[in-house]
Amino acid sequence: MCKLDISFITINYNGLNDTIELIQSLKNHCKGFSFEIIVVDNGSRSNENTELSRLFPDITIIRSDINLGFSGGNNLGINKANGRYLFLINNDTFLIDDSLSELVKFMDINDNAAAASPKIKFKTPENTIQFAGYTSLSKFSIRNKLIGYFEQDYGQYTVPYETPYTHGAAMILRRSVIKEVGLMPEIFFLYYEELDWCTKMKNKGFSLWFVPAATVIHKESRSTGQGSYLRTFYIVRNRLLYSWRNRCGIERMLSMIYLIMIAIPKGIIQSFLNRRPDLIRSHINGAFAFFRLKDKLN
């Protein structure tokens, strides 16, 4: 039987200062429930785990000598966790109040909820929403939208509601659901893994929720960078991979045609016009990487 309410799991990858700020905010603002903090040092260049151990001797630190990706790193933490609930949280986030207790209360009341995400705001500009739920993925483009994205928060999202997917930057997960759906799919490595995971949960009959009573502040993606080769490569590859794994029949065929014949060429042209030869390569390499991966799955 789990003795703790929440196991916080975060990944550190060359982001020591961010991770320290997150841990301090968890310690300062998590009131009303018991918890543990698990940091997975995911192949950082320097021994940042040593410094974290010195600063926070009461937390659990797991060191991986190689970068296992977002899913692989989180799975290391999940396997060590002792809480009734698992809270996956990016290291470039922090708390500003004690509202996460509302997530625990919500999950305790709603037995069919597999997972939930809080309201997520950008650090800058202040009081600006990043996440208030997701729209569904398009059947063909495998794209969706963030509800509330870049809106000023004036209290327009106050009631919990179901969302097709939770947000990988901050999501609470019922531990027992892991037995039903398994660990986070490591085949994705980075991007789309939580969407694939959430799709499994929905297919098993569970519900997913946005709970605005709780708030997390997000500094946004620093480890890969916006418009970087790495980010573009994995988004191109994994959008194709998600479609292959989760679409069937005519929907899969039309989605593949759209992504290969329209979306990827469009991205290549935009990269050319923006004088980004690195992103041209990332689109092409991402597509070929998918086909190599697909052959192994067949």
* pLDDT tens column, 174-219: 999 999 999 999 999 989 999 999 999 999 999 999 999 999 999 9
What is the spatial distance between Cα 215 and Cα 170, in angstroms, rounded to a whole number? Answer: 10
| Whether residues 86 and 174 fall in one domain | yes
Please identify, among 218, 245, 270, the residue that sits at the C-terminal boundary of a domain.
218
Can you say whether the dihedral through the CA atoms of 283, 288, 291, 297 is positive or negative?
negative
Question: What is the rounded distance in angstroms from the CA atom of residue 29 to the CA atom of residue 24?
Answer: 9
- Statement to judge: residues 67 and 144 lie in one domain: yes
Q: 23 and 68 share a domain?
A: yes
The reply to whether 223 falls in a domain is no
Does the residue 1 lie in any domain?
A: no
190 and 244 in a single domain? The answer is no
The model's pLDDT over 243-270, given as tens digits with 9 standing for 90+, comes to: 999 999 999 999 999 999 999 999 999 9
Looking at residue 250, its pLDDT comes to: 96
133 and 242 in contact (C-beta within 8 Å)? no
Domain with 242, as residue range(s), is: 229-292
Secondary structure of residue 213 in the 3-state scheme: strand
Question: Which domain CATH number covers 214?
Answer: 3.90.550.10
Does residue 298 fall inside a structural domain? no
* Same domain (yes/no): 142, 267: no
Residue 297 covered by a domain: no
Residues 172 and 210 in one domain: yes
Q: Do both 170 and 49 map to the same domain?
A: yes
Q: Is the pLDDT of residue 222 over 50?
A: no
> Do you know the residue count of the chain?
298
CA dihedral 86, 166, 14, 276 (to 10 degrees): 170
